[in-house]
Structure 1
């Protein structure tokens, strides 16, 4: 018999590719962190001997979820300034707090807290945009989690860098330091067209082409952002980026709630990607991303949570449900974003946007064994007519029991194996006391 490291059997394997497939009483063989085979459980047991064998009797085994856009360290700002418009929230609360508190320790502790939450919710990879990506990378390495980390660029000085030139220098050094790592991938992450001047956006395009990495940027997040751009330049932000050569297959356009028909066509023609964050957009009243129209035009749409300061969680199963329901209401079409598409947006579409779909995003031989097991045997999920629909419309992150990244178990029986949850919670509480007192003017 052929030797493998592990066999993972489940009532249902939902591979994502082909879309909508549900394989009953199947399993996955894993060796050296990669998927060797997917087949009926009896066939796997006849062919392979394994060092470890898991039987997940009433579970769905899915690809690890990918959070396509977040600011992980901002977990430490969860709930600090709720129920405020975007610019009030940013300028009067978030940015002042960041100026005072953000440093390596803040980012490391906040990122660790975020990764604990994401892993327990079935997320195996996240695409981050924040200061001190080196600290997030260190936390990700300790946790064993896959991370795509932004080389942040913004016009404003911070504790991390004095200005755009310094941000770029630090980012490029970070990229070089991560060269060859299997789980960490740096990408360029200019904050937004209204916070990064055009000469620097042009420099970013040049570096993106030279390094062959995506450009991760907030774009058309609110009507106010678009109006301000038109008033100041006579052009909408997407047009400005297009003239700078940034509208291409490298573009990861976050939010995209304010799109005209011609702009959707342009994104499709360019092969650009949209990173949709439905719950954050709802909470900040930013608008609605036209997911149905984008998908119909052929634009790849992936799902993210945004940061918890504007969501207020990192729950990708919840985000799938919200995305599917919102698309139906916005498009006036009950068939818009069916369950299979919602799952794809949170897995393979996200991997494609991040340029890692050759390694993750679906359960296929040769890909990394980034896997999530969701228990569908709970009483609140009965009866089950369609496991895929049940996963998206009825399951919650509390139903996640096991998570693997590159074959390594990072959550086992609902317990983290690489992160000390109690210690992460204690550090978060300490940060919360200090930051909350300062925001209230008490310190």
Structure 2
């Protein structure tokens, strides 16, 4: 039985697509926006009335790239680079039963919902390979929280030490054998595991769909990568990959293939309209031209890029080429807050660091488009993030009496520059009231505290040896990455430091 119609009456509706905010009534019926009109113009006496006169209504945020497996390691990273994070990857996502995987996903979903995000693209990682049981646990975690999600097994057949040229040789001799413990599953076994997941897609809850994520180009042998592409084609799945996230990734591609990772993927026939490039930090104009020519998309992830010191992606040239760009948080191990408001603000500010006229900076409406309809336009995400007739009723309501909006000068600008999650009062996902009066309605997060603590304690005990090994390896990996900073690249995404010419 469908819920009764709901009328959000008299709210200040902020439309990033139009770049304006105005008073409107919104009628929600069967999970969708059935009508938008001036206050008082929708004659539906059968609808439940919600007085939104003191609310600013925005399309709910769409998180274009996250990792649900990382939610139990929030706060673990301290001055980690990307390479340090990858070194710690096996214990960050290892030795987890379906209940632990479910709990990690649920925790992150509730976090995102409380901050106004109702849809995400999750690159799901299990070490050493994905499992159907773990994947279904992730799907149920999102569904139970009330979120929609695209889930992509994040896979590779080469570990960090096999993938990066020269890295293994840089390790002390006594560590050479121990890195074998980081060995991933055989590529054919991983492909078979994904086949089992995709064959069970009818077991997914409503609102959950599939994709595939061969994680990083040089972490995938050519044979394995093309097997992934074949899976994507046979099952009609988007492909989502980390592309040139760090300087070392960009230089490794050139050492291996003599070309950028984007050129390599184009030559192999991997790029297509359903391809999403995550991060895309160390790319030049030619790379962006290639992505645009293949009608690809980009997930821009500023909080993680800052947190890991990966560099600052230049978004304006992407938009100028017509690339679809969505904003994202990344996982809680590198963007701990899982806050799309934070991602929005950082994206706005990051656009100002380049030596270019202020007209190239992202303005408020444009930045909010990236965080809402921009992410919603990425393959798999169902054109969400819009307030228009027929669209899913995914909405976030801000309290106009909150100090963030005093005085109310420019609603769109103040969401970007002033608002934080404390001013969010209500969130609707497919018309379902999942946050009401600042309280989550699907699951009480206070009931999770003890379960989370117990789960983290068990993981800490079972993964102590793997974490200790990563701790031994980490300084050597980071030192190797630092030693490669002088390798030439056509772009600079770090500011130079006096006395040393960092690229």
TM-score, length-normalised on structure 2? Answer: 0.81
Structure 1: tracts of 5 or more residues without a match: none
Alignment of 1:12-23 (within 5 A): 12-17=12-17, 19-23=18-22
Q: Which residue, out of 199, 215, 219, partners 2:239?
A: 215
Output the CA distance in 1 between the equivalents of 2:399 and 2:367.
19
Output the CA distance in 2 between the equivalents of 1:255 and 1:426.
35
On the 8 A contact 1:153/1:164 being kept in 2, the answer is no
Shift of 1:170: 3.0
1:129 aligns to what? 123
* 1:98 equivalent in alignment to 2:96: no
On the 8 A contact 1:7/1:50 being kept in 2, the answer is no
Moved more, 168-177 or 216-225: 168-177
1:393 aligns to what? 417
Output the CA distance in 2 between the equivalents of 1:441 and 1:220.
28
Return the structure number with greater strand share. Answer: 1
Shift of 1:106: 2.4
On the 8 A contact 1:302/1:346 being kept in 2, the answer is yes
Alignment of 1:14-413 (within 5 A): 14-17=14-17, 19-24=18-23, 26-44=24-42, 47-91=43-87, 93-99=88-94, 101-131=95-125, 132-155=134-157, 162-179=185-202, 182-330=206-354, 332-335=356-359, 336-358=361-383, 360-413=384-437
Shift of 1:7: 0.7
Find the residue that maps to 1:221 and give its secondary structure: coil
Find the residue that maps to 1:347 and give its secondary structure: helix
Summarize deviations over 1:100-157 as a string: whole Å, max 9, x none.
Answer: x333222111111101110000000110011333211011122221111113322169
On the 8 A contact 2:300/2:313 being kept in 1, the answer is yes
Shift of 1:257: 0.4
What RMSD in Å do the two structures reach over aligned CA positions?
2.3
Output the CA distance in 2 between the equivalents of 1:322 and 1:390.
14
Shift of 1:304: 0.5
On the 8 A contact 1:4/1:48 being kept in 2, the answer is no
Alignment of 1:3-18 (within 5 A): 5-17=5-17
Summarize deviations over 1:286-334 as a string: whole Å, max 9, x none.
Answer: 1111101111121111100000101121000111011011112235443
Output the CA distance in 1 between the equivalents of 2:314 and 2:274.
20
Summarize deviations over 1:68-88 as a string: whole Å, max 9, x none.
Answer: 000022010112132122212
Output the CA distance in 2 between the equivalents of 1:228 and 1:116.
37
Moved more, 202-211 or 378-387: 202-211
Output the CA distance in 2 between the equivalents of 1:329 and 1:262.
21
Output the CA distance in 1 between the equivalents of 2:441 and 2:186.
39
Summarize deviations over 1:14-67 as a string: whole Å, max 9, x none.
Answer: 2333x313222x1211111111011112102xx112442111222111111111
TM-score, length-normalised on structure 1? Answer: 0.91
Structure 2: tracts of 5 or more residues without a match: 126-133, 160-180, 470-503
Report which of the two structures shows the higher radius of gyration computed on alpha carbons: 2
Note closer, same or farther for the CA distance 1:374–1:168 as it changes in structure 2 (3 Å cut). Answer: farther
Output the CA distance in 2 between the equivalents of 1:11 and 1:36.
16
Output the CA distance in 2 between the equivalents of 1:175 and 1:367.
28
On the 8 A contact 1:403/1:409 being kept in 2, the answer is yes
**Matched pairs, number:** 432
Note closer, same or farther for the CA distance 1:97–1:297 as it changes in structure 2 (3 Å cut). Answer: closer
Output the CA distance in 2 between the equivalents of 1:135 and 1:164.
23
Note closer, same or farther for the CA distance 1:60–1:380 as it changes in structure 2 (3 Å cut). Answer: closer
Output the CA distance in 2 between the equivalents of 1:351 and 1:175.
23
Summarize deviations over 1:251-299 as a string: whole Å, max 9, x none.
Answer: 1100000011111111112111110100110111111111011111211
Find the residue that maps to 1:310 and give its secondary structure: coil
Output the CA distance in 1 between the equivalents of 2:355 and 2:7.
42
